[in-house]
Chains A and B, each alone.
Chain A
Amino acid sequence: MSSLAAAIRNIAGACVLAGLTMLSSPISAQEQTQQPATTIINPTAQGVTEQQLLQQEPRITGRIIIPDKRAAVLIQPAGREWRAFHEIALRWIAAIAILGMLVILVAFYLTRGMVRLESGRSGRTIVRFNAFERFVHWMTATCFIILGLTGLNITFGKKLLMPLMGHDAFSTWSEWAKYAHNYLSFPFTIGVVLIFLMWLGGNIPNKTDVEWLKRGGGIVGHDHPPADRFNAGQKAVYWIVVLGGAAVAISGYVLIFPFYGTDIGNMHAAHMVHSIVAVLFFAVMLAHIYIGTIGMQGAFEAMGKGTVDVNWAKEHHSLWLEKEVKADKLPEQDLRSTPAE
Chain B
Amino acid sequence: MLIKRSDRPVRQTHLAAFAEGQGLARLDRRSFLRRSGLAAAGLATIGALPLANMRKARAGPPPAPGATVEIRKNVCTHCAVGCTVTAEVSNGVWIGQEPSFDSPINRGSHCAKGASVRELVHSDRRLKYPLKMVNGEWQRASWDEAISAICDKIMQIRGTSGPDSVYWLGSAKFTNEGAYLFRKLGAFWGTNNTDHQARICHSTTVTGVANTWGYGAMTNSINDMRNAKTLLYVGSNAAEAHPVAMQHMLEGKELNNANMIVVDPRMTRTAAHATDYVRLRPGTDIPFLYGLMWHIVKNGWEDKEFIQSRVYGYDDVLKEIEKWPPDEVERVTGVPGAQVEHIARLFATEKPATLIWCMGQTQHTVGTANVRTSCILLLLTGNVGKPGTGANILRGHDNVQGATDVGLDIVTLPFYYGLKDTAWKHWSRVWQVDYDWFVSRFDSKEIMEAPGIPLTRWFDAVLLPKDQVHQKDNVRAMFVQGHASNSITRIPESLKALAKLDLLVVVDPHPTTWASLSVKAGRKDGTWLLPACTQFEAKGSRVASNRSLQWGEQIVKPSFEAKDDLEIMYLVAQRLGFADKMFKNIKVENNLPEAEDILREMNRGSWSTGYCGQSPERLKLHMANQKDFDLVTLRATSGPAKGDYYGLPWPCWGKPELKHPGTALLYNTNLHVMDGGGTFRARFGVERDGVNLLASGSYSLGSEIQDGYPEFTYGVLKKLGWDHDLAPDELATIQQIGGDKADAVSWSTDLSGGIQRVAMKHGCLPYGNARARMNAFGVPDPIPVHREPIYTPRVDLVAKYPTRQDEVQFRLPNIGFSVQKSAVDRQVAKQFPLILTSGRLVEFEGGGEETRSNPWLAELQQNMFIEINPADAGERGIVNGAWVWVTGAENSSKAKVRALVTERVGKGVAWMPFHFGGWFGGEDLRPNYPEGADPIVLGESANTMTTYGYDPATGMQEPKATLCQIAAA
The yes or no answer to A197 lying at the interface (CB within 8 A) is no
Check if A168 sits within 8 Å of B273, measured CB to CB.
no
Chain A residues with CB under 8 Å of B278's CB are: 41
**Contact B4–A65 (Cβ < 8 Å):** no
Please state if B6 and A43 are interface contacts (CB–CB under 8 Å).
no
The interface bits of chain B over 255-285 (1 if a CB of A lies within 8 angstroms of the residue's CB, else 0) are: 0000010000001000111111111000000
Q: How far apart are B879's CB and chain A's nearest CB, in angstroms?
A: 12
Any chain B CB within 8 A of the CB of A44? yes
**Which of A32-40, A126-134, A290-298 contacts its partner?**
A32-40
Say how far B111's CB is from chain A's closest CB, in angstroms. 14
With A43-B273, A172-B1, A172-B4 known to touch, is A65 a contact of B338 (CB < 8 Å)? no
Tally of contact residues, A, Cβ under 8 A: 20
Nearest to B870 among chain A residues (CB) is: A32
Residues of A within 8 A of B273 (CB): 43-44
Q: How far is the CB of A74 from chain B (nearest CB, A)?
A: 16
A40 & B860 in contact (Cβ 8 Å cutoff): no
Across the interface, do B274 and A44 meet the contact criterion of CB distance under 8 Å?
yes
Query: Which parts of A251-304 form the interface with B (CB within 8 Å)?
Result: none
Indicate whether B923 reaches chain A with its CB closer than 8 angstroms.
no
Q: Closest Cβ of chain B: how far from A249's Cβ, in Å? A: 29
Is the pair B862, A44 in contact by a Cβ cutoff of 8 Å?
no
Q: Taking the complex as formed, is A30 at the interface, i.e. its CB lies under 8 A from any CB of chain B?
A: yes
Please encode chain A, from 161 to 176, with 1 for each CB lying within 8 Å of some chain B CB and 0 for all others: 0000110110011000
- Bound-complex Cα distance A47 to B267 (A): 13
Closest to A170 in B: B2
A-side interface mostly? loop
CA distance A66 to B3 in the complex (A): 40
* Range of interface residues on B (Cβ < 8 Å): 20 to 34
Known contacts A35-B903, A40-B342; is-contact A165 B2 (Cβ 8 Å): yes
Q: Are B276 and A169 in contact (CB under 8 A)?
A: no
- The main secondary structure of chain B at its interface with chain A is loop
A240 and B122 CA atoms in complex are apart in Å by 60
B5 to A39, Cβ gap below 8 A? no
Contact A65 B2, beta carbon cutoff 8 Å: no
- CB-nearest residue of chain A to B10: A167
- Expressed in whole angstroms, the minimum distance between the Cβ of B155 and any Cβ of chain A is 49
Contact A43 B3 (CB under 8 A): no
Please determine whether A168 and B5 come into contact, CB atoms closer than 8 angstroms.
Answer: yes
B860 lies within 8 A of A65 (CB): yes
Counting CB contacts under 8 A, is A201 at the interface? no
Q: Residue-by-residue, is B1-38 near A (CB-CB < 8 Å gives 1, otherwise 0)?
A: 11111101000000000000000000000000000000
A166-B6, A172-B4 are contacts. A65–B275 as well, Cβ < 8 Å? Answer: no
User: Which residues of B477-509 are within 8 A (CB) of A?
Assistant: none
How many whole Å from B391's CB to the nearest CB in chain A? 24
A173 and B2: CB pair below 8 A? yes
A40 touches B276 (CB 8 A): yes
The distance from the CB of A114 to the nearest CB of chain B, in whole angstroms, is 38
For residue A189, give the distance in angstroms from its CB to the closest CB of chain B.
28
A45 at the interface (CB under 8 A from B): yes
Measured between beta carbons, the chain A residues less than 8 angstroms from B338 are 39-40
Interface centre among B2, B3, B4, B862 (most CB of A within 10 A): B2
Q: Which residues of A are found within 8 Å of B3, using beta-carbon distances?
A: 168-169, 172
B275: which of A44, A66, A173 is its contact (CB, 8 Å)?
A: A44
A43 and B270 alpha carbons, distance in the complex (Å): 10
Contacts of A41 in B (CB 8 A): 276-279
Q: Are A43 and B870 in contact (CB under 8 A)?
A: no
Q: Does A67 contact B (CB under 8 A)?
A: yes
- The answer on a CB contact under 8 Å between B4 and A43 is no
Is A42 located at the chain interface by the 8 A CB criterion? yes
Chain B residues near A66 (CB-CB < 8 A): 859-860, 862
Query: What residues of chain B lie closer than 8 Å to A44, measured between beta carbons?
Result: 260, 273-275
- Chain A residues with CB under 8 Å of B260's CB are 44
Q: Kindly identify which residue among A32, A39, A169 contacts B903, using a CB–CB cutoff of 8 Å.
A: A32
Considering the chains assembled together, what is the distance between the CA atoms of A39 and B880 in angstroms? 28
Residue of A nearest to B7 (CB): A168
Q: Do B271 and A43 touch (CB < 8 A)? A: yes
B339 at the interface (CB under 8 A from A): yes
Interface centre among A35, A44, A45 (most CB of B within 10 A): A44
How far apart sit A166 and B10, CA to CA, in the bound complex (Å)? 12
Q: A45-B275, A65-B861 are in contact. Are A40 and B4 (CB under 8 A)?
A: no
Specify the chain A residue showing the minimal Cβ separation from B860.
Answer: A65
**Which of B1, B6, B339, B859 is close to A39, meaning CB atoms less than 8 Å apart?**
B339
A-B contact pairs, 11 of them (CB 8 A): A39-B338, A39-B342, A40-B276, A41-B277, A41-B279, A42-B274, A43-B275, A44-B274, A169-B3, A172-B2, A173-B2
* Complex A-B, nearest 9 residue pairs according to Cβ-Cβ distance, in ascending order: A39-B336, A169-B2, A39-B339, A41-B277, A39-B338, A172-B2, A44-B275, A43-B274, A43-B272
A residues in contact (CB < 8 Å) with B = 30, 32, 35, 39-45, 47, 65-67, 165-166, 168-169, 172-173
Extra contacts besides A43-B277, A169-B6 (13): CB < 8 Å: A32-B870, A39-B338, A41-B278, A41-B279, A42-B274, A42-B276, A43-B272, A44-B274, A169-B2, A169-B3, A169-B4, A172-B1, A172-B2
